[in-house]
């Protein structure tokens, strides 16, 4: 339901919101009456299509093209455009991600720095920039994590380490921004399989999942919405959306 003309709509910012899980989160918050800003980089057509869909439904939306592997520049663009368009921020969801392989011998400094930039440095700078606005409105920060931050795969060394840095940042921010702002993390298991992931391997993985299925983008979007609306007494938590995989 839309807010009345006398009550400004709340504003949500979702990084990496043009595709996959981020897209589901954008649509969930827009449907709930939020004004939504979302970032994208290479998914130009998907971002334009999503914006067109939401505009047609009468839902204010702001696509922002930004390269979060270049944190200082990207965060300045995101901050300036979001405030110019909406003037406030209530919910920030750090979802943008890169999933790049590399074991110890394969991992060089440039890809490691790129992964740290998108998973740690950019969320840190965005939190710094928007903290006064989130405090003012009793806002919420949600960081999208990964079970691999706890149980790293050797073939994704830098990816897992950078997600672990964001995991720790989540806990630190929850302590620092309390009591005005809640900060939580969502750590999904398998939500969407990589396009080239073998079916036999999918079945092998799901056999170890107590609920015997992969999750959906909607599962994550619903939890994010809950944390930003009903979860006012939840902070400093990492919630695993994994069908029970983390207990096996």
pLDDT in tens, 40-61: 999 999 999 999 999 999 999 9
Residue 210 and residue 216: Cα distance in Å, rounded?
Answer: 16
Q: What is the pLDDT of residue 193?
A: 78
List the domains of the chain with CATH numbers. 11-247 (3.40.50.720)
Q: How far is CA 51 from CA 3, 59, 190, in A?
A: 20, 9, 27
Average pLDDT score, the chain: 94
Name residues of the chain where pLDDT drops below 70.
Answer: 1-6
**Residue 223 CB partners (closer than 8 Å, separation 6+):** 186, 239, 241
Name the token pair of 46.
């998907």
Residue 244 and residue 189: Cα distance in Å, rounded?
Answer: 9
Q: What is the pLDDT of residue 198?
A: 85
Q: What is the pLDDT of residue 201?
A: 87
Q: What is the pLDDT of residue 1?
A: 43
Q: What is the pLDDT of residue 6?
A: 58
Residue 141 and residue 234: Cα distance in Å, rounded?
Answer: 11
Active-site residue flag, 40: no
Q: What is the pLDDT of residue 8?
A: 76
Q: What is the pLDDT of residue 234?
A: 98
Q: How far is CA 117 from CA 30, 98, 162, in A?
A: 28, 10, 8
Question: Which is catalytic among the residues 40, 99, 159, 233?
Answer: 159
Q: What is the pLDDT of residue 205?
A: 85
> For the segment 105-119, what is each residue's pLDDT rounded down to a tens digit?
889 999 999 999 999
């Amino acid at each position: 339901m839309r807010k009345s003309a006398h009550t400004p709509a709340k504003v949500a910012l979702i990084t990496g919101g043009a595709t996959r899980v981020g897209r589901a989160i954008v649509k969930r918050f827009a449907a709930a009456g939020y004004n939504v800003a979302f970032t994208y980089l290479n998914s130009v057509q998907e971002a334009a299509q999503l914006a067109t869909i939401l505009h047609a439904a009468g839902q204010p939306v702001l696509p922002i093209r930004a390269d979060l592997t270049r944190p200082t520049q990207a965060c300045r663009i995101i901050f300036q455009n979001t405030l110019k368009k909406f003037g406030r921020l209530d919910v920030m969801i750090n979802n943008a991600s890169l999933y790049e392989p590399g074991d110890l011998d394969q991992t060089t400094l440039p890809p490691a720095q790129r992964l740290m930039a998108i998973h740690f440095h950019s969320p840190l700078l965005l939190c710094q920039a928007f903290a006064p606005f989130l405090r003012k409105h009793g806002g919420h920060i949600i960081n999208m994590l990964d079970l691999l931050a706890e149980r790293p795969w050797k073939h994704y060394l830098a990816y897992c380490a950078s997600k672990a840095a964001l995991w720790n940042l989540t806990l630190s921010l929850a302590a620092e921004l309390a009591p005005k702002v809640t900060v939580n993390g969502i750590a999904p298991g398998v939500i969407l399989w990589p396009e080239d992931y073998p079916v036999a391997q999918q079945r092998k993985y799901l056999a170890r999942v107590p609920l015997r299925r992969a999750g959906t983008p909607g599962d994550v979007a619903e939890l994010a919405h809950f944390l930003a609306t009903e979860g006012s007494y939840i902070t400093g938590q990492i919630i695993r959306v994994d069908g029970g995989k983390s207990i096996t």
